[in-house]
Amino acid sequence: MMIFGDKIMTPRLRLRRITESDLPLLVAWSNSDAAHGRYLTPDRTDEVKGRENLVMGMYWNDVNRVFLIELKGEKPIGTLRYWLRSERRNCAVMAIKISIPQMRDKGYGTEAQKYVIMQLFQRLKVQSVEMYTDINNRPQQRCLQKLGFELVETLGYDDHQVKRVGHLFRLDAAAFVKNPVYQYHYEQ
């Protein structure tokens, strides 16, 4: 399988592999309600667990990757994770957090997702990309609409012991190649 590199550059962002020096920030975000927004529950990890995950390769392996999202040449603003489904390896699931509230609603979430989606289809050759989102998470649903996703089903799920109702959205390879958003790049 062709795997993409440690970094993904987008017009305004750099997505890169996590290193040990990022752990204090990731732990702080992990325990912060504000960093998760209204529709995600903090996963509450600590530095010991974070270091263990890093050493074990849990943040970066062939089927699961966590990227730190940074403004180019500046500070980190969030994380994006994808994993390949164990029962369907040609299907990737993504999850994103713009952890600094002031950095939301500037198009960064859409931009980060767009360029990872392009890599997933073009380099990893997945057949579909899926995302779960809380039924009330309008900003994320707007992102998914802009990125050509379609609603598959609505289901109950467990988010760190909090019961939520969410939508499952999917973009398949046929829709990806036809969608102009992946061919023309309007980001500044």
> Which residues sit at the interface with ligand COA, rule CB under 6 A?
36-37, 39-40, 78, 96-98, 104-110, 133, 137-140, 142-143
Nearest partner of 43 among 158, 131, 159, judged by Cα: 159
Q: Which is nearer to ligand COA, 11 or 57 (CB)?
A: 11
* Rounded CA Rg of the chain: 16
Q: Which is nearer to ligand COA, 55 or 81 (CB)?
A: 81
Provide the minimum distance between the beta carbon of 28 and ligand COA in the complex, in angstroms, as a whole number. 15
Q: Which is nearer to ligand COA, 23 or 99 (CB)?
A: 99
Provide the minimum distance between the beta carbon of 168 and ligand COA in the complex, in angstroms, as a whole number. 11
Q: Which is nearer to ligand COA, 40 or 126 (CB)?
A: 40
Alpha-carbon distance of 30 to 44, in angstroms, equals: 5
Q: Which is nearer to ligand COA, 165 or 174 (CB)?
A: 165
Where helices occur in 75-107 by DSSP H, the ranges are none
76 near 103, Cβ under 8 Å? no
Q: Which is nearer to ligand COA, 128 or 133 (CB)?
A: 133
Residues 6+ apart with CB under 8 A from 87: none
Q: Is the dihedral of CA 153, 180, 126, 69 positive or negative?
A: negative
Find the distance separating the first CA and the last CA of the chain, reported in whole Å. 33
Provide the minimum distance between the beta carbon of 47 and ligand COA in the complex, in angstroms, as a whole number. 22
Provide the minimum distance between the beta carbon of 18 and ligand COA in the complex, in angstroms, as a whole number. 17
User: How buried is 78 (Cβ within 10 angstroms: 0-12 exposed, 13-18 middle, 19+ buried)?
Assistant: buried
Residue closest to ligand COA, measured at CB:
109
Tokens describing residue 131: 């995302």
DSSP E strand stretches across 10-105: 13-17, 64-71, 76-84, 91-98
